[in-house]
């Protein structure tokens, strides 16, 4: 079975502070991992994927197969980063599983 765990439901930081949103996964094969973001009253959209190894809006995420983690990081949070963040795993037969999400609030 494939599973995605986001241990923090809520995360609150001040503007300019570093932020790390945790994601752990369980999957027997080689996973395809993603971070999606949902801004207020908008539909979910892709933030980044592990295979591209790119930085989007200052966010990065590294796949650690040993720890089965895919944490999302940003060195200096901005107020516009406030949103719900979902970690997702695409596994066998294109099954796409999401974590429960972390609501990030960046305070001024």
Partner 1 sequence: NAGVTQTPKFQVLKTGQSMTLQCAQDMNHNSMYWYRQDPGMGLRLIYYSASEGTTDKGEVPNGYNVSRLNKREFSLRLESAAPSQTSVYFCASTGAGLEAFFGQGTRLTVV
User: Which residues of this chain interact with partner 1, rule CB under 8 A?
Assistant: 6, 9, 32, 34, 36, 43-46, 49, 86, 88, 90, 93-101
Of 37 and 106, nearer to partner 1 (C-beta) is 37
Taking the complex as a whole, the smallest distance from the CB of residue 51 to partner 1 amounts, in Å, to 9
Taking the complex as a whole, the smallest distance from the CB of residue 93 to partner 1 amounts, in Å, to 5
Q: 3-class SS at 91?
A: coil
Phi, psi of 65 (to 5 degrees): -70, -30
């Amino acid at each position: 079975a494939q599973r995605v765990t986001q241990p923090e439901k809520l995360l609150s930081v001040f503007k300019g502070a570093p932020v790390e949103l945790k994601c752990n996964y369980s999957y027997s094969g080689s996973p395809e991992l993603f971070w999606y973001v949902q801004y207020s009253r908008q539909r979910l959209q892709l933030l980044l994927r592990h295979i591209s190894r790119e930085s989007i809006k200052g966010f990065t995420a590294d796949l650690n197969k040993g720890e089965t983690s895919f944490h999302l990081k940003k060195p200096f949070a901005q107020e516009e980063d406030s949103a719900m963040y979902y970690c997702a795993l695409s596994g066998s037969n294109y099954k796409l599983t999401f974590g429960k999400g972390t609501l990030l609030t960046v305070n001024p």
